[in-house]
Chain A
Amino acid sequence: MTTEAPILAIDRLTMRFGGIVAVNELSFTAGRRQITALIGPNGAGKTTVFNCITGFYRPSSGVMQLVHDDGAAFRLDRLHDFRICKYAKVARTFQNIRLFPGMTALENLMVAQHNTLMRASGFSLLGLLGAPSFRAAERAAIDFARHWLERIGLTERADDAAGNLPYGDQRRLEIARAMCARPALLCLDEPAAGLNANESAALSELLLSIRDDVGTSILLIEHDMSVVMEISDHIVVLDHGVKIADGAPRAVRDDPKVVAAYLGADEEDAAQVMEGGA
């Protein structure tokens, strides 16, 4: 465990939809250069938390503070929409993959570098005239994209439409796309959903390398407990919008409240929690 200040501190986050309280007074922190997992039975409010963090919902109340390595601090509850990614550098993936299916894998990764390239193209003016400075920036962007394609093993399929890739590749491409936005915090919504055992293992490796080699902090929603237990540094358990446990994987796994929540919700999930640690 490092003693570094956490990258993300969430304080009493509440999200109401009409009369329904989806997330209630939730507080937790995500460690810098750590993988924090957010788990809980279906309908626990995990994706709602994500949507609040990444600017798709405006929280009803609560404070979310994100601090970059250089000390720059951002109040995510006050930023909104695209600004979260652009300024606070939080990138995300989606539960149901949201690639640009009619664009190639490479184009997907280029779109993720939009803001950098936009500045380099002089808001299109320099780019339209073909200025050398923009060309250099574009080459750099392509190189960065190529780097990520290599990392996820998709260099060969760089020029294929994203919608044509197999499911597992699409999952990884979406992560690579988020990484091309050069995030400080990467939020992954069920990245292992629908993957087979081999692909899950490759995913775990990819996430660990993102944490260790790139130094990006990760916040993760996941149902696949083998992945969660294997790679997480820290787990936060949610049930009915309330935090019921928070700690190291081992501690969380043995927490009777967690077991009860899963047993109460879904026996299969409960079994998975047990197995994941066994």
Chain B
Amino acid sequence: MAFILKKAAISALVALGLFFLMIGIRTEAGSSGQLIYWTRFGELAAMVGAVFAGSIVIELLRRWIGPVGGVELPAGVRATFATLGRLLAPALLIFALLVPVIFYKERYLLDLGILVLTYVMLGWGLNIVVGLAGLLDLGYVAFYAVGAYSYALLAQSPLPLPHLVDGFPFVAFSMEQLGPWAFWVLLPVSGLLAALWGVILGFPVLRLRGDYLAIVTLAFGEIIRLVILNWQDLTGGPNGISGIPRPTVFGIPLTPGEHGFAAMIGVPFSPTHRLVFLFYLILALALLTNWATIRLRRLPIGRAWEAMREDEVACRALGINITTTKLSAFAIGAMFGGFAGAFFATRQGFISPESFTFQESALVLAIVVLGGMGSQLGVALAAIAMIGGFELFRGLDQFRMLVFGGVMVLLMIWRPRGLIGHRAPTVFLQKRTEISSSLVKEGHG
């Protein structure tokens, strides 16, 4: 007990050192621009006290719970958990399909569902690059941005491009001719453009490893954002682009008019229709990503990605072209990011560089790592937990990011290998045995 108290006292002392100036003194720019300050020793004392008490509680918990965590669960319980685990994915899918039915009246929840699914999709896309190919990408948001801006710019009619270059031949074809089909034509185009940018990024980083790769991808993400921010003639700069065409149900607009979707199927118009449609749209896109990833993993290209993550040298010795393997991972990961971006643009109707900051990349990466690298279900669960949790903290207002960061740290300490800690083999002879993640490499590229 004395030991615990001593430890808590030291923690409190450290807290005092940390917080004395930062919490004890509050600075602010005064009315005439000069700095003023006032003291908040009450808050300071409360914080230090909280650290003292918290330290005691944590230490006690560690003593009581610590040994229990190491106890093996009985076989029966573990089997039940395994069955539940297998049922989890189908159950989640059925739930996702039913969300608009159950929560038809709760616009807020539908919106949140759309947001979560967008991140599920981004997570699955980035998972190809980070989880499967083992390439650390800190600038994934760049492809999200490329997708969003490609859609927004191409859908804008007349295109701003001709203003930049006199007599630009593009004017010959106007996006207006596409009319209500704009989204469906431009969605794949946005994905392909993002994939192209994936390859453009891929080339310079082919020879880079580990943290050099991380910083270059981060730099790339920032370059894209800064160019969008500063190329005002094209992108509207910080003001962004508004009036982006909304999606249509395969050509039928979701509007109140007589040609609208509601009139076509003979129900009264409601703005919720669009939300429901957007929900199913992103669900379909996310499932497409999932389907493609699962399929690709079982193809030679997917196995080459994973083999590259495990040992690049051995891959070369087996005749695998590392260049094309890496580029394909970047391109396909980027393509799904581009799809998600186009969806984001059409959902919001407005985009600006603010939506494509490093925080977004970090968030998606956190989802992938927390999910357990390479695990599709894990990524989905992590996206639900992170985005859902983030929304739960909405009431905390300005403390939200603080709590969010802290939770991120704690989650990493609690499960450094992510929620789903094993890898499923892509092919088997007798039986599918899960591989413990302690054997799986994380790549160094």
Contact = CB atoms under 8 A, between A and B. Distances in A.
The answer to whether any beta carbons of A and B sit under 8 Å apart in the complex is: yes
Interface of A: 54-56, 81-86, 91-92, 94, 98-104, 106-107, 110-115, 117-118, 121, 123-124, 127-128, 130, 142, 146, 149, 155, 158-161, 163-164, 177-178, 181
A104 B440 CA distance: 11
A74 to B, nearest CB: 13
A149 B296 CA distance: 25
B307 A103 contact: yes
Nearest to A155: B429
Given A107-B427, A127-B300, A177 B318 contact: yes
Contacts, number: 143
Nearest to B320: A114
Contacts of A102: 306, 310, 423, 435, 437, 439-441
Interface in B421-442: 423, 425-433, 435-437, 439-441
B435 A161 contact: yes
A106 B430 CA distance: 11
Nearest to A142: B427
Given A100-B307, A102-B440, A114-B303, A85 B318 contact: yes
A54 B311 CA distance: 16
Interface residues of B, number: 39
Closest 6 CB pairs of A and B: A102-B440, A85-B319, A86-B319, A100-B310, A117-B300, A163-B439
B206 interface: no
A128 B294 CA distance: 10
Contacts of B315: 82, 111
A117 B433 CA distance: 24
B436 A121 contact: no
A158 B428 contact: yes
A100 B311 contact: yes
Given A101-B441, A118-B301, A128-B292, A106 B317 contact: no
Nearest to A137: B300
Given A106-B427, A121-B300, A128-B292, 20 more contacts: A81-B316, A82-B316, A82-B318, A85-B319, A91-B318, A100-B307, A101-B439, A101-B441, A102-B437, A103-B307, A107-B306, A111-B320, A114-B303, A114-B318, A115-B320, A118-B300, A124-B296, A128-B299, A159-B428, A163-B439
Contact of A111 (B304, B428, B436): B304
Interface string B287-323: 0000010011001110110110011011111111110
B433 A114 contact: no
Contacts of A85: 316-319
A114 B430 contact: no
A146 B429 contact: yes
Contact of B320 (A56, A82, A94, A160): A82
Contacts of A149: 429
6 contacts: A91-B319, A100-B310, A104-B435, A121-B301, A128-B296, A142-B429
Nearest to B304: A114
Interface in B6-65: none
A105 to B, nearest CB: 9
B293 to A, nearest CB: 11
Contact of B425 (A55, A103, A142): A103
B301 A181 contact: no
A43 to B, nearest CB: 21
A158 B432 CA distance: 10
Contacts of A121: 299-301
Contact of B314 (A98, A123, A161): A98
B316 A55 contact: yes
Contacts of A104: 425, 427-428, 433, 435
Nearest to B374: A102
Contacts of A112: 318
Contacts of A83: 319
Nearest to A81: B316
A46 B296 CA distance: 39
Nearest to B311: A98
A181 B318 contact: yes
Nearest to B307: A111
Contacts of B292: 128
B427 A111 contact: no
